[in-house]
Structure 1
């Protein structure tokens, strides 16, 4: 039996995981006497487990003969994002009952890629379905953590190409040589054993904190899972319907640090780990964005002489400032939570197009090897350092810059690769926009949806534009295009180029 599980293909392992995950809404449905939903999830979980078992037996001989390399795991990961939502959507389709399969598939792709697009109205879905969507998003976040450290880091992809050094569990490994010495399956199992307990513990702590702050236990669990996975999935219509108020938003903001840098969960806990996080390049850049942009919105109230009667309203000023800080941080990590005071922040600033700020921070994205999407902070930092160095050379042409070997690597090769990814990201936005407009969508909707899908920040399309985009009202063609764009945004275009590169295939043979 041990050899059976050791030889299971990656996709089959994910099928077993999906079957086990279906027990979560099944048990909850049984507890709240929603027996119909509980039976659907339970029976579907049994069928998926049987399917996975049969596939495991069918692939045992092939598994022993196959060459275990990183490239095949990239292909397996891509196929998992494409086909796994079909299986994950079966119980949801049966429980909802009055919807079409394409809507459920879009929602499951959105959850698994941690995009969190609000496809269905919250009041339309039962609590068991809300819990299932959050569970799929939470597992998608864990999948991102594990595959980033076990597969992408050794290949110098997913943002690691900027430094060409992987950091796993607080230990630096130049050129990822130590990680690539082990087989990919062994690395996946090793990283899962290290990261999964941390991921679960952080989720449990945040859920307990939200529950103590007054949130309903189910909603506390869902919002905690959505925060750690940055899926942004909510069981309510927003924080306006939450009972925690600012306290809950503060708790969530504290845990969004794990989407800004991988050092927050790979360096352990303690003063030394806190010091490494505080000195991390990605955290410093994120703090700069979170401080500067809300300050701009806050100060514009006086610069524009907007609503002078509110100048003495200290409470309104502080709530508006917090609303902008929390919302900017949430969209920077591509979570997509909107503060209950964001409307007040928009009114306070008097800026009619304040949603464009959220578009910008969502494109920047969070940290490398985290659940956040977008360009990633490390790539933006590399471009900034290269630009600052070039400006310095205009003034001092013969100067020699310091910052050590790693700093020089970031300014030179790292900035070059970051610029390539930036161009690929823009081209991807243009291609998705062209496809959406060809499918009949207007320009603004196509732009917002393309950025939301490729940055894995689904709520962006409903918040940043002049008019909110309703995903459910889109046609079938835009939904298929968006599903593909979400998968591309989750895996990143450089990974696709690596998969399609003949040289990469030969190097992995």
Structure 2
């Protein structure tokens, strides 16, 4: 029996515990390299402890008869976001002095959901602990890749409901046929084998490129992991040089469309990516929004007679990088972003970044938000309605899939948008009940639901810190992060009568 077949017989949650135990070795090695023996021992012993726990649970559950479906794996995924941070927080709590386990748990929820919001002051986090947060977020990013393709896609959830039909060897195959073609365990193992080498290779490539541009090795690794997972976790708060930002900007493509990593890298790759709906919409946003911001900054500088070419270039680059970063819900801020604000004398447009985070990245990627495909469906539907006002009897083209996106796809996208709006209103009211003002509650809610932790620092007039919140507000935000990561439509599907009858 192969290793893949053995793993397929284990419950998904047991496998996640084993992977979490293995991940604890990475910060242990980092701490050992920095002669931080207490932290290294904590993570090493924790890895052994939870690996033994995973083995024992594996022995107990392997022999039991289990009938897994896509729905049971979906609820397992939800429980993983709720319970797995309890295990992930254990070494962090033991390694930090005077740390509360509750705060460590909330911080691990933030990392696992790739939100990246830190609930500890930066000076309290040593390099191995930052490495642990980035590792958990990186692991969470791969979990999103895998679960979206192996679990959500066959159930027409997670953005796939916009098209609901997939192209398989030139034929339209409904998701029900995909579910009958292979068991849930087989799909997980198959897609894990295909995606894991790609995810690891992309991280290593970006790590090397960042070191070539002058970044320190550990900082480069953390930024590479944070870019692929769109968590925005940083060792020192800045990516580094413009060259390093340029490398990170290139790798944002993997948060804009699932086709960037699910298709082979060949001669047709650039043309195929440029024809992708999500990529085209993202490029339009990355070009138009910085251009408008640049003109806004330019006119402000002209009025005060402070316009200089070097400042203009820094402003334009800062806008391009920061817009792409928040569109992918990563949250890295360019060095040129502050320079642009100071150059023009105008406050940073935080509301623009909030709108970009809400818009989000691609379906089945690590990005959060509404997702580009849903936005594209609403745009095409609106465009078609305008055409019908001018030519009521016109017939639109774009084929069967195009009609699907404009009609049923746009309808479901609108339903999701309304559910997200209601979720925002609910969490804003609950956070306001804890004593927060309207602006703070709004920014924190959007930051959590879109899994864009760094948004809290730049979305308002002043930076908002997660560390000063009370326990109830932290718990509400943790739940909002899970809702944003799982998506409201998925949670609604879980409580539907169809799920319980199944």
User: When the two structures are superposed, what TM-score results if normalisation uses the length of structure 1?
Assistant: 0.95
- Cα contact 2:428–2:442 (8 A) shared by 1: yes
State how far apart, in whole Å, the 1-side matches of 2:113 and 2:415 are. Answer: 23
Matches of residues 12-411 of structure 1 in structure 2 within 5 Å?
Answer: 12-62=14-64, 64=65, 66-166=66-166, 174-180=173-179, 181-239=181-239, 242=240, 245-304=241-300, 306-311=302-307, 313-352=308-347, 354-411=349-406
Which residue number corresponds to residue 461 of structure 1?
Answer: 456
State how far apart, in whole Å, the 2-side matches of 1:172 and 1:473 are. Answer: 54
Match of 1:434 among 398, 413, 429: 429
Write out per-residue CA displacement over residues 245-287 of structure 1, whole angstroms, 9 at most, x where no aligned residue: 1000000000000000001001110221221111111111111
- Cα contact 1:165–1:175 (8 A) shared by 2: yes
Match of 1:450 among 432, 445, 449: 445
The alpha-carbon distance between structure 1 residues 29 and 172, as it changes in their structure 2 partners (threshold 3 A), is farther
State how far apart, in whole Å, the 1-side matches of 2:52 and 2:185 are. Answer: 23
| Structure 1 position 500 matched with structure 2 position 502 | no
State how far apart, in whole Å, the 1-side matches of 2:297 and 2:126 are. Answer: 42
Over the aligned positions, Cα root-mean-square deviation in angstroms equals 1.7
Q: What's the CA shift for 1:178?
A: 4.7
Unaligned segments of structure 2, at least 5 residues: none
What's the secondary structure of 1:114's corresponding residue?
coil
- Cα contact 1:154–1:166 (8 A) shared by 2: no
State how far apart, in whole Å, the 2-side matches of 1:463 and 1:33 are. Answer: 36
Write out per-residue CA displacement over residues 336-357 of structure 1, whole angstroms, 9 at most, x where no aligned residue: 0001111122234554360100
State how far apart, in whole Å, the 1-side matches of 2:343 and 2:414 are. Answer: 36
The alpha-carbon distance between structure 1 residues 172 and 464, as it changes in their structure 2 partners (threshold 3 A), is farther
The alpha-carbon distance between structure 1 residues 422 and 348, as it changes in their structure 2 partners (threshold 3 A), is farther
What's the secondary structure of 2:218's corresponding residue?
helix
Count of paired positions? 499
Q: What's the CA shift for 1:307?
A: 4.6
| Range that drifts further, 364-373 or 158-167 | 158-167
The alpha-carbon distance between structure 1 residues 96 and 307, as it changes in their structure 2 partners (threshold 3 A), is farther
Write out per-residue CA displacement over residues 459-491 of structure 1, whole angstroms, 9 at most, x where no aligned residue: 101111112111011000000000000000000
State how far apart, in whole Å, the 1-side matches of 2:171 and 2:328 are. Answer: 24
Unaligned segments of structure 1, at least 5 residues: none
State how far apart, in whole Å, the 2-side matches of 1:353 and 1:225 are. Answer: 27
The alpha-carbon distance between structure 1 residues 473 and 114, as it changes in their structure 2 partners (threshold 3 A), is same
State how far apart, in whole Å, the 2-side matches of 1:466 and 1:361 are. Answer: 17
State how far apart, in whole Å, the 2-side matches of 1:290 and 1:350 are. Answer: 23
State how far apart, in whole Å, the 2-side matches of 1:4 and 1:152 are. Answer: 23
- Cα contact 1:4–1:56 (8 A) shared by 2: no
Write out per-residue CA displacement over residues 111-157 of structure 1, whole angstroms, 9 at most, x where no aligned residue: 10000113223332111111111110000000000000000011110
The alpha-carbon distance between structure 1 residues 366 and 428, as it changes in their structure 2 partners (threshold 3 A), is same
| Structure 1 position 6 matched with structure 2 position 8 | yes
State how far apart, in whole Å, the 1-side matches of 2:367 and 2:494 are. Answer: 22
- Cα contact 2:450–2:484 (8 A) shared by 1: yes
State how far apart, in whole Å, the 2-side matches of 1:175 and 1:447 are. Answer: 39
Which residue number corresponds to residue 490 of structure 1?
Answer: 485
State how far apart, in whole Å, the 2-side matches of 1:450 and 1:345 are. Answer: 27
- Cα contact 2:290–2:323 (8 A) shared by 1: yes
- Cα contact 1:41–1:91 (8 A) shared by 2: yes
State how far apart, in whole Å, the 2-side matches of 1:216 and 1:172 are. Answer: 49
Write out per-residue CA displacement over residues 204-263 of structure 1, whole angstroms, 9 at most, x where no aligned residue: 000000011111100100000000000100011324xx3xx1000000000000000001
- Cα contact 1:368–1:377 (8 A) shared by 2: yes
What's the secondary structure of 2:332's corresponding residue?
coil
State how far apart, in whole Å, the 2-side matches of 1:500 and 1:173 are. Answer: 29
State how far apart, in whole Å, the 1-side matches of 2:171 and 2:85 are. Answer: 35
User: When the two structures are superposed, what TM-score results if normalisation uses the length of structure 2?
Assistant: 0.96
